Every structure is written in C-alpha cells, then in structure tokens.
Structure 1
C-alpha cells in the first residue's frame, strides 16, 4: 500500500468504551468491515482497522478504550515530520496535547494537537517500511 501525500487527511479513529456496539452501528450504517490490527492486538490493545466496502486498504480505526478515555472521534493528517509539525502548530497559535515519538515497532509516530479555536486533531508519520 502506498501512503497518501503529506498534508492529506489520511486516517480517522473512533474511540469508544463500547467497541462492539460501535462496530455494529458503523458496519450496518456504512457497510464497513473491521479487522483486528496485528501490532495493536499483540500488545493487548483493542484496535480494529476499518475498511470501506470495495476498498483495498483500511481508512480508519476503532479503538476500544476500556473506559480509560472519553469517547471521541478524531481525524489524522499525514505529515513528513511529527516534531516539526508540532513546533509549527505552536508557532501558529495551536497547542500540542501529546506526542508519541517512539510508539514501538510497526507503529506510526503521532501527536494530538489543538487548533487556535480548541478543535482536536491528530498528525502522524507512517512507520518506516520493513
């Protein structure tokens, strides 16, 4: 699979304390399919990749939070450099909520940001090809 171009809306995530209910809802509403994410599953995380009907690759994920964080949905923009983009966002009046620059093998570097109006979004850099 090739990666989208930098600055592209490239992923979304639905985080929920009821992943089975969310899977049933979105699967029925949009005919999406769900599959366990290998690296996440091996670490004990409930993370399911979401694929649209007829698509050849996932477009998002469903994160079972276990009630540890508030239910939410967030979009992610692919960037060339997570740290540099965080610095740029702060220069432009945004803020960094959290950075994950060493998430482990096979996982992308990512960060959660807020724009100057307070809207949350994510950025990520795909993991290096093996």
Structure 2
C-alpha cells in the first residue's frame, strides 16, 4: 500500500556476516537480486520461513557508505516525496530516480536526524497517492 512501511534494508561492508547473523537468529535466507546485479550492486533479498516474498534486503556497501538498518516507505512518486520531506525540514541524503534496474529510491533524514528510505517500484511510477 502507498505510504506504508513496506521494506527494510541492512547495509554493511560484511554482507556474509550479516547473512550468518540474521540467518541464524531468525531463519532468514538470502538470494542475489538480479536487477541490482545488472547495475553493479551487490544486493541480497531476504526470504522468510513460510513467507510470501522478500520484504527486505542486505546491501553490500563495499565500504563506500556507512552501515545502517532502515525502514523504507512505499510512495507513489519518490521525487515528489523527497521534495515534500525537504519542505518539511527533512534532508535528502541520496536519491536515484528513473532507475533502469529497479525501483526509484532515496534516503532521507527526518527533522531529528533519523535516516529512512523512500521507494517507488517501476510498476507504480506515476501512480496517484
């Protein structure tokens, strides 16, 4: 559903360690995301025992960005949501729009400095909220 928490991401420079930790703790499994791999990104989708599909992923940063664990909100238009967040005092840290290899997404800091994500899957680009 639009404007709901729909994804989480764990970013780390040790994706194998994260897989081991979360796999053993929660029974999660991990598979490479082919779309991300086409764009040169190491992103692994999380699977759950008895789950209906991935609702999160592990991003291998390669040391290029700090580790983090964030929730992400599904929005109809990532660019518009970023602009609205900025108008409310938030800060867009990173955004990728018109992503040919997957969803549009952004990292945003709220007015307290907390990092969260926004994303729009390709099939929803241009949808109304």
SS at match of 2:100: coil
Aligned equivalents of 2:42, 2:82: Cα separation in 1? 27
The equivalent residue for 2:10 is 14
Do structure 1's residue 63 and structure 2's residue 59 form an aligned pair?
A: yes
Aligned equivalents of 2:91, 2:79: Cα separation in 1? 12
Q: Which residue, out of 69, 74, 86, partners 1:73?
A: 69
Aligned equivalents of 1:126, 1:98: Cα separation in 2? 17
The equivalent residue for 2:19 is 23
- Structure 2 segments unaligned to the other structure (5+ residues): 125-129
Aligned equivalents of 1:30, 1:42: Cα separation in 2? 29
Q: Which residue, out of 67, 70, 82, partners 2:78?
A: 82
The equivalent residue for 2:118 is 123
Aligned equivalents of 1:114, 1:70: Cα separation in 2? 14
Shift of residue 128 of structure 1? 2.1
Shift of residue 43 of structure 1? 3.1
Root-mean-square deviation (CA, aligned residues, Å) is 1.3
Q: Which residue, out of 41, 66, 76, partners 1:45?
A: 41
The equivalent residue for 2:95 is 99
The equivalent residue for 2:127 is none
Deviates more, 1:49-58 or 1:83-92: 83-92
CA deviations over 1:88-110 (Å, ceiling 9, x no partner): 111212121122112224x1011
- Structure 1 segments unaligned to the other structure (5+ residues): none
Shift of residue 72 of structure 1? 1.1
TM-score by length of 2: 0.90
Aligned length: 124
